[in-house]
């Protein structure tokens, strides 16, 4: 039987791009996108779905004879701190609903995104290993660490094939992030191309693990394609792209926009970022399913600027560089 895929959280930063990639791979009729409201100009099959309601997930799974779920809906690290108990409730209940519906309906595979937010002060900050101690300091990080263990539990107890990646901050031109601590790293490119000053909510030398959207999508598809017996981590896989700070990005952007201005106005998100790793060791992902990132900061910067110039239709006189 061919795969019938349900994407939950299809309007999000990762979900919107992953949905297109899945449509290309499995065919338009085999991917059902869902979110709490339909995105404008969405192309394909869409269901309005509130994942905190288990019956709604069950109805969509039955209606479309779903065989795989990619559950991407979550409240992220920064937004989650505004209402910790509600964040825990929503993130955990959505996951329980997905796991239970998947178990009851005998689904083939489930994808659950985790995050570098699972790490806290007691994990090594550099080259953080897959099995480092997890003591997250945000509710989002706590919900991801707990979620990883629930995924493993459903695999061990029920044989449900749950797979997971710990994403770094994702940088892409296709969509905007919302509510995360790494969001600045997308916003900064938009401001550069629009030739506006950028106000950065992190300090200039805050190095964090990041990954380009195309790498993040490829990693997800590669993990989900890998033979079941290769998956030795049933909690989640570390995933590295490239690590850099706001200052590093600004330096690369100034190759194209020498007058680009940034002011640093750190807020509560600085404290979140300060407890996250600076770089990630992803040897297990490389070993088990052949993971290898392609994009470094130079390539990310070049691609972001090229694509955002196309998007905004700007060809600034002040900017220089290979893309003009
Ligand atoms: C966030 O900043 O909360 C997310 C993440 C790293 O999981 N982008």
CATH number at residue 217: 3.40.50.720
Do 110 and 201 fall into the same domain? no
Do 258 and 303 fall into the same domain? yes
Q: Show which of 238, 256, 285 is a domain's final residue.
A: 238
pLDDT at site 2 = 87
**Ligand 1 atom showing the smallest separation from residue 77 Cα:** 3
Do 66 and 184 fall into the same domain? no
pLDDT digits (tens, 9 = 90+) for 135-158: 999 999 999 999 999 999 999 999
Longest dimension (CA), the chain: 62
Q: How far is the CA of 217 from the centre of ligand 1 (A)?
A: 15
Domain of 269: which CATH number? 3.90.25
In a domain, 284, yes or no: no
Do 110 and 126 fall into the same domain? yes
In a domain, 253, yes or no: yes
Quote the domain boundaries for residue 104. 5-170+210-238
In a domain, 290, yes or no: no
Q: Which two tokens stand for residue 140?
A: 């989002």
- DSSP string over 281-301: --HHHHHHH-------HHHHH
Q: Has residue 323 got a pLDDT over 50?
A: no
Residue 317 pLDDT level (bands cut at 50, 70, 90): very low
Q: How far is the CA of 166 from the centre of ligand 1 (A)?
A: 10
Segments in 139-239 forming alpha helices (H): 139-158, 184-193, 213-225
Q: Assess whether 140 carries a catalytic annotation.
A: yes
pLDDT digits (tens, 9 = 90+) for 11-54: 999 999 999 999 999 999 999 999 999 988 899 999 999 999 99
Q: Which two tokens stand for residue 312?
A: 């905004």
Do 141 and 263 fall into the same domain? no
Do 129 and 181 fall into the same domain? no
d(CA 66, CA 63): 8
pTM reported for the whole predicted model: 0.95
Nearest CA-CA partner of 6 in 59, 42, 43: 59
In a domain, 87, yes or no: yes
If one residue of 72, 138, 164, 167 were mutated to test the ligand 1 pocket, choosing by the most ligand atoms within 8 A of its CB, it would be 167
Options 70, 140, 167, 184, the catalytic residue: 140
Do 85 and 177 fall into the same domain? no
Residue 324 pLDDT level (bands cut at 50, 70, 90): very low
């Amino acid at each position: 039987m061919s795969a019938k895929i349900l994407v939950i959280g299809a309007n999000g930063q990762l979900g919107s791009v992953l949905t297109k990639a899945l449509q290309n791979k499995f065919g338009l009729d085999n991917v059902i996108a869902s979110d709490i409201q339909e995105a404008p100009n969405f192309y394909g099959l869409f269901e309005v779905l509130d994942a905190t309601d288990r019956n709604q997930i069950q109805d969509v799974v039955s209606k479309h004879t779903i065989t795989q779920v990619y559950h991407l809906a979550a409240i992220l690290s920064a937004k989650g701190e505004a209402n910790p108990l509600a964040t825990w409730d929503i993130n955990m209940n959505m996951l329980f609903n997905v796991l239970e519906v998947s178990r009851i309906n005998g689904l083939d595979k489930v994808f659950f995104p985790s995050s570098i937010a699972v790490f806290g002060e007691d994990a090594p900050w550099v080259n953080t290993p897959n099995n480092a101690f997890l003591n997250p300091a945000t509710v989002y990080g706590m919900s991801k660490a707990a979620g990883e263990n629930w995924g493993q539990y459903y695999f061990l107890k029920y044989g449900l094939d749950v797979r997971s990646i710990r994403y770094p901050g994702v940088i892409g031109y296709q969509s905007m992030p919302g509510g995360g601590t790494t969001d600045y790293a997308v916003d900064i490119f938009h401001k550069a191309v629009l030739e506006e000053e950028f106000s950065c909510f992190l300090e200039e030398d805050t190095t964090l693990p990041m990954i380009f959207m195309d790498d993040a999508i490829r990693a997800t598809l590669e993990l989900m394609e890998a033979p079941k017996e290769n998956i030795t981590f049933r909690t989640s896989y570390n995933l590295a792209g490239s690590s850099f700070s706001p200052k590093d990005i600004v330096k690369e952007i100034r190759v194209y926009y020498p007058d680009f201005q940034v002011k640093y106005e750190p807020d509560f998100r600085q404290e979140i970022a300060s407890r996250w790793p600076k770089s990630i060791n992803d040897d297990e992902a490389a070993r088990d399913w052949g993971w290898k990132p392609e994009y470094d900061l130079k390539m990310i910067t070049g691609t972001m600027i090229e694509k955002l110039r196309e998007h905004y239709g700007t060809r600034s006189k002040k900017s220089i560089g290979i893309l003009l």
